[in-house]
Amino acid sequence: MASGALRPGDAVPSVRVLAAALGLSPTTVSAAYRELRQRGVLVTRDRSGTFVGHRPPLGHRLAPEVPPGTVDLASGNPDPALLPELGPPLARVGPVHRLYGDDPAHPELLTAAREGFEIEGVDAAHLAVVGGGLDGIERVLEAHLRVGDPIAVEDPGYVGALDLCRAMGLELVGVDVDDDGITVEGLEATLDEHPVRALLTVPRAQNPTGASLSAERGAALRAVLADHPEVLVVEDEPLGVVAGTSPRTLTTGRQRWARVRSLGKALGPDLRVAVLAGDEDTVQQVTGRQRLGTGWVSHLLQRLAADVWRTSLEDGTLAHAAEVYRHRRAALVEALARHDIRAHGASGLNVWIPVAEEVPVVQGLAAAGWWAQAGEPFRLHSPPGIRLTVAALPADDAPRLAEDLAGVLDHRLGTRRG
């Protein structure tokens, strides 16, 4: 495996075959295999044999370099002008030291999170504070899954979550997504055809498509999941009230579940704080493992996040941001529709546009002064598309962007339909 002769996914010989080939005792080979399995190097699948694990070398996706003179529609960032001010909260928080052995969670942050979860219909009896959305997701998955376990993910889905699952050596199984969330047919097929251990989903402000789970879709998906009580359901909630649509959840009545509410997109990306709700066992495993590592999330950060969260709800900052984002999404989707270009953007910061080919469209938009994100990193098997982050795109610019995109599709591809 170190030499590359065996690659991830390759089957390895049985213990008896390898022992005979090497002239060793089967007990010796069995012990070696056992140690390799414990390290996650080998994965054993029932009735299928033993395989090299799929955990790849860790890569790093660089932030897009936006050329001078182009409008950034690729970074995925919120509009800095719509984020709450940090100066007054920083002054209020003040320098108060916390010591080893103190409560790892700040009570005011937990109170704000609990109120939000209860509004969403999420059980908030057990909470933990983690260092951001992906940190919480990783801790939950590590508590329940092992290398080689299949996990159902949205396709297309958030590239950060997909890369995290790959880095953990999990087997990604894509589930189709439309404007109302993951599809019932897609989830049914996935659960019937694969031994899925977990489902990772974004109920609203889905990245890249903007999908938002409807009430009807949520009920239908919960009915499907009811026949699979062993599946861990993990929900990523990246925008909260800024998402612009009503909250839904698939966690109701589940045995194993978690919902991670991160604050970076709504309050500021440097506030690397998230609050995790889940079943008692999952939350205990997350906090127990956290104590052995980072210990806790900085209380200075927690107190600042709690203060900004409270004040920005009270003064209408978050409600204003949600309305502006909704207006900007709608302006672009409507402008594209006037050119017969199909687009998706029910919630969140992004609009997803199906195209026949991604690279020519991205290049054509760049020539017109718009820097877009190709959809390839977000996709497993779903059709091509491009993602446009419209968080900071003025609504008045939407018609010009739509016209430029229509021109690119007409001249480059001979059609406006993806």
User: Do 109 and 196 belong together in one domain?
Assistant: yes
Pair (117, 248) in one structural domain? yes
Query: Is the pLDDT score of 169 beyond 80?
Result: yes
Q: Is residue 265 part of a domain?
A: yes
DSSP-assigned letter for residue 61? P
Note whether residue 370 is domain-resident.
yes
Between the CA atoms of 282, 286, 289 and 295, what dihedral angle is there, to the nearest 10 degrees?
-150
The residue segments making up the domain with residue 369 are 71-80+317-413
Residue reference for tokens 């127990």: 288
**Domain total in the chain:** 3
Range of lowest pLDDT (42-46, 167-171, 210-214, 266-270): 42-46
Q: For all residues of the chain together, what is the average pLDDT?
A: 92
Q: How far is CA 400 from CA 77, 116, 184, 393, in A?
A: 21, 38, 37, 11
Tens digits of residue pLDDT in 208-258: 999 999 999 999 999 999 999 999 999 999 999 999 999 999 999 999 999
CA 90 to chain centre: 29
The closest alpha carbon to 385, from 159, 85, 227, belongs to 159
- Is there a domain that residue 63 lies in? no
Using one digit for the tens of pLDDT, what is the confidence trace for 179-213? Answer: 999 999 999 999 999 999 999 999 999 999 999 99
In this structure, the answer to whether residues 112 and 243 fall within a common structural domain is yes
Question: Are 123 and 192 in the same domain?
Answer: yes
What CATH number is given to the structural domain containing 349?
A: 3.90.1150.10
* Residue 80 burial class via C-beta count within 10 angstroms: exposed 0-12, middle 13-18, buried 19 and up: exposed
296 with 257, same domain: the answer is yes
Q: Band of the pLDDT at 415, cuts 50, 70, 90?
A: very low
Query: Does residue 10 sit within a domain?
Result: no
Residue 272 lies in a domain: yes
Residue 4 in any domain: the answer is no
**Range with the lowest mean pLDDT among 53-57, 97-101, 348-352?**
53-57
- Using CA atoms, how far residue 290 sits from 128, 303, 332, in Å, is 10, 19, 43
More confident: 232 or 75 = 232
What confidence category does residue 156 fall into, taking pLDDT thresholds of 50, 70 and 90? Answer: very high
- Which amino acid, residue 82? L
- Measured from the Cβ of residue 178, the count of other Cβ atoms closer than 10 Å reads 14
pTM: 0.86
Q: Is residue 62 part of a domain?
A: no
Q: Which of 250, 277, 312 is the last residue of a domain?
A: 312
**Is the pLDDT assigned to residue 416 strictly greater than 50?**
no
Average pLDDT over residues 132-139: 97
* Residues 164 and 24 reside in one and the same domain: no
Q: What would the pLDDT profile of 295-308 be if each residue is shown by its tens digit?
A: 999 999 999 999 99
User: Residue 254 belongs to a domain with what CATH number?
Assistant: 3.40.640.10
* Per-residue pLDDT, 52: 85
